[in-house]
Structure formats: C-alpha cells, structure tokens
Amino acid sequence: MFSLDDRRRILVTGGSGFLGSYLSEKLLEAGHEVLCLDNFFTGTRMNVEHLLDHKRFELLRHDVCQPLFVEVDEIYNLACPASPVHYQFDPVQTTKTSVLGAINMLGLAKRVKAKILQASTSEIYGDPQVHPQPEEYWGNVNPIGVRSCYDEGKRCAETLFYDYYRQNNINIRVMRIFNTYGPRMHPNDGRVVSNFIMQALMNKPITLYGDGMQTRSFCYRDDLVDGMIKLMNAPDHISMPINIGNPKEFTIKQLAELVLELTGSKSRIIREPLPQDDPLQRKPDITRARDYLGWRPTTELREGLGKTIQYFEQLLSKHGEAEAV
C-alpha cells in the first residue's frame, strides 16, 4: 500500500516529450509529485495538457543546459531530442543538451542527494558488430559523422554518470533505451514508426530508406516506461547500465508491410537513400533487465502498432492533415 511517506518529489527533464509525458502520468498515478521540465524543442504542452490541473503536477519551461536549483528526491533525465531529424537540426545544441544537461542534473543530484536515472540509448553501440547487443559491448560509433552529436553526447553523459558515481558517490541508474514507439510520438518526428503510420493514413508514399533489410527491435511505450520505473526503484547496487527494449527484431521492410496491412492503406512503398551511418542491425540482449529487474516486454508489435495507429487517426481527425504534421 502506498503511504504518504512513500511520496517523492520527482523531476522529469524532457517531461513534455513522448516518453517523459507518459512517465509523468505514471508517476502521478503512483502518488508522487512531478516537476516536469522542458524547453519545448520537440515536446509540446499538448502532451501534458491533461496533467496541468493535477495538484501534484508542475510544468517548468527550462533548458537543461542551464543550472537548475530545485529540491527533489529523484531525477529522470530524459531531455534530448531523440529522432535523427531533430537531433541533427542543431547538432551543437544536441551535444550540449546531453553533456551540459548531464553535468547540471548530476550537480543537482549531488547537492540534494537525489537518485538520478539517465535515459541513455542503444545508439551508444553505434553500428554494432556484436549481435544482439549486451551491455558489456563497447560499441562501434563514428565520432565525426552526422549521428555523432547524439551518439557521442549520450556516451559522454554515461561517462559523466560513472565519474560522478565514483567521485561523489551519486546514486545512479543508466538505462539504454532501444527504439520505442507509441501514442504521443510527434507526428512529424521523422522516426520510422511515426513516418510510416502518418504516410499510410494520408495515403502518401511510404519512404523506405535503403533496401529495407536493416533491422530494429521495437518496444511499446508502456513496456518501456514500466522498465524505467522498475530500474529507478531497483536496489542501489544496480548501478550498471541496463538495456531496455523488445528483443523481437524486424526488418524495416517488414514494418512497412505491417503498417500497410493494419491501416488498410493504398500507399505504395518508395525507396529513398539510406542515411549516413544508419545502423544495419539492432537488437537488445535483455538478460540483465530480466535477471535484475524481473522485466520483460509484453506488447507484441502488431498490438502496439494498432494502438499507435488509433492515436494518429484521432490526431488527424481532430487537427486535420495540415496541423497534425
């Protein structure tokens, strides 16, 4: 049973984004206070509109690159654009967000003795030469390519987490998130799931990059956030990185075909060039998550896509094509 003694004041950076808004909702449901911080670069007020009247919810417009002085018990550090289109829009700002954001949030955690979780990423493995990827793998990342601002920014953030841990005894959690999809993804986000669904619903061509044989493993939002909260609440010795993702691997071509089937769309598939440094395969080894957190994903791609399609359909009927995208 939840008692008032269990209530914590929790900072969620990037809290009005796709994952942060759902996380904030779940933390409020669990009885906590949520301070949601966002600079609204890719997140929107619309994502947290339904929480604004909640008495334990507070929304703060702030950039994590700037210092922040608040009193909190826990920090979920999610602030950072996640889609290649968005993180490559202003790559210098992307690196700053990961690196300065981590420094400021770790400095805050140190001052107020808060527990802090970093939303890291499978991108720290780059274009992996080990498959599936276990946490022990150091990765294969191009340090000077167009994806580097994100990959190296997140790698440096991990470095900072482990140095603050060793140097200042900060209570850290590091979660390596693999491709996640679901309702509240930005319709114009540029990621494959939102692109394909929006294209299918608007009967526009489905843009398949390369030959479509590259693979990803798609995790549904609810499973992911469940793993995130489990990791934050795990015993303190679980400070090593943990992969959270769905180990079922699909080619991007299979994803396109599934979206066409589920939407009943007449869209045709067209080929576009594969972006630079696009990883050819990706699939998490989730042994640690299973053994240490008792976590595993339960939502099949078909089911999760169905719910995501419904969300985008509603968005289109509410706001129309021009405004939704």
Catalytic machinery residues: 150
Q: Which residues of 187-222 are buried (b: 16+ CB within 10 A; e: fewer)?
A: bebbbbbbbbbbbbbeeeebebeeebebbbbbbbbb
- 195 contact choice in ligand NAD, ligand UDP, none (CB below 5 to 8 Å, kind-dependent): ligand UDP
Stretch that binds ligand UDP, among 18-26, 64-72, 128-136, 297-305 (CB under 6 A): 64-72
Q: Which residues of 233-271 are buried (b: 16+ CB within 10 A; e: fewer)?
A: ebeeebbebbbbbbbebbbbbebbbebbebbebebeeee
Distances (CA, A) of 208 to 9, 182, 189, 191: 44, 20, 16, 12
Among 61, 111, 302, 319, binds ligand UDP (CB under 6 A): 111
Q: Quick check: 195 binds ligand UDP (CB under 6 A)?
A: yes
Q: Quick check: 284 binds ligand NAD (CB under 6 A)?
A: no
Among 119, 174, 201, 293, binds ligand NAD (CB under 6 A): 119
Q: Quick check: 209 binds ligand UDP (CB under 6 A)?
A: yes
Residues 159-178 that bind ligand NAD (CB under 6 A): 177
Among 207, 251, 254, 281, binds ligand UDP (CB under 6 A): 207
- 110 contact choice in ligand NAD, ligand UDP, none (CB below 5 to 8 Å, kind-dependent): ligand UDP
- 267 contact choice in ligand UDP, ligand NAD, none (CB below 5 to 8 Å, kind-dependent): none
Mapped onto helix, strand or coil, the DSSP state of residue 211 is coil
Please say whether the beta carbons of 2 and 10 come within 8 A: no
Query: Cα 173–81–148 angle (5° rounding)?
Result: 85
Cα 36 → chain centroid: 16
Q: Which two tokens stand for residue 121?
A: 């990423």
Mapped onto helix, strand or coil, the DSSP state of residue 272 is strand
Stretch that binds ligand UDP, among 23-31, 61-69, 88-96, 132-140 (CB under 6 A): 61-69
Cα 130 → chain centroid: 22
Round to whole Å and give the CA distance between 46 and 288: 35
Q: Quick check: 68 binds ligand UDP (CB under 6 A)?
A: yes
Q: Quick check: 278 binds ligand UDP (CB under 6 A)?
A: yes
x-or-dash pattern for ligand NAD, window 13-32, by CB under 6 A? xx-xxxxx------------
| Backbone φ/ψ region at 229: left (φ over 0), alpha (ψ -120 to 50), beta | alpha
Q: Give the binding site for ligand NAD (CB under 6 A).
A: 13-14, 16-20, 38-43, 63-65, 78-82, 97, 101, 119, 121, 177, 179-180
The binding site for ligand UDP (CB under 6 A) comprises 67-69, 83-84, 103-104, 107-108, 110-111, 179, 191-192, 195, 207-209, 214, 216, 252, 274-275, 278
